[in-house]
Amino acid sequence: MNFKALFILLILAFSSPTWADVISTNLSSQDAAVTSELAPLVDKQWTSNIPLIIDKAYELTGIKYKLGGSKPETGFDCSQFVKYVFEQALNLSLPPSARSLSKMGETIKFEDLQPGDLVFFNTRKSKFSHVGIYVGNDEFIHAPRTGKTIRVENLTKNYWLKRFNGATRIDPAESL
């Protein structure tokens, strides 16, 4: 869902006579002023959608890894898995590569990770070459590699700690 669609949904959900005037006008001229007023509502809405992301990710556990795969029937690679989860759970369109995903949203420190955050790793001698979705309790879900299936792993295992590159929290307004 793009920001304007989310914005309209929020307006309709919390409508009052003053919001009716906003709806009937050209939203592009109102975006800057209204966005600052609605930021707490958008954050609350986003936070309430995190379980949808986590549930959709868990639904896909056991599906095989396939390089370039982008659907459950054929399998997923890591970035297409993340892209698919966010599209199915929230109708957000994200870019198709781990590196491009790493440039979206807000950078998050390891100790500040929250469920729904994206976690990145250097698994191919290249920064941000692998991505997963943090699910809480030091665990993340991902599509690991050829011959494996989508699964949950512990971030504090030595293998993942050594390769951890960072994390981001997706901003729904940044979706494609």
Considering 78, 82, 90, 92, which one is annotated as catalytic?
A: 78
Q: Domain for residue 133, yes or no? A: yes
* Domain range for 134: 3-171
Considering 142, 150, 155, 168, which one is annotated as catalytic?
A: 142
> What are the Cα distances from residue 164, in Å, to 4, 143, 154?
34, 16, 12
37 burial via Cβ count (<10 Å: 0-12, 13-18, 19+): exposed
Q: Which residue has the tokens 């949950």?
A: 152
Using an 8 Å Cβ cutoff, are 174 and 105 in contact? yes
Q: Domain for residue 115, yes or no? A: yes
The pLDDT assigned to 29 comes to 42
pLDDT in tens, 94-140: 999 999 999 999 999 999 999 999 999 999 888 999 999 999 999 99
Considering 130, 134, 135, 143, which one is annotated as catalytic?
A: 130
User: Among this protein's residues, is 142 annotated catalytic?
Assistant: yes
Checking if the pLDDT of 153 tops 60, the result is yes
Q: Domain for residue 176, yes or no? A: no
Q: Domain for residue 11, yes or no? A: yes
The pLDDT assigned to 107 comes to 96
Number of compact structural domains in the chain: 1
The pLDDT assigned to 86 comes to 96
Cβ neighbours of 20 (radius 10 Å): 11
CATH number at residue 128: 3.90.1720.10
Q: Domain for residue 116, yes or no? A: yes
Checking if the pLDDT of 143 tops 70, the result is yes
Checking if the pLDDT of 7 tops 60, the result is no
Q: Domain for residue 107, yes or no? A: yes
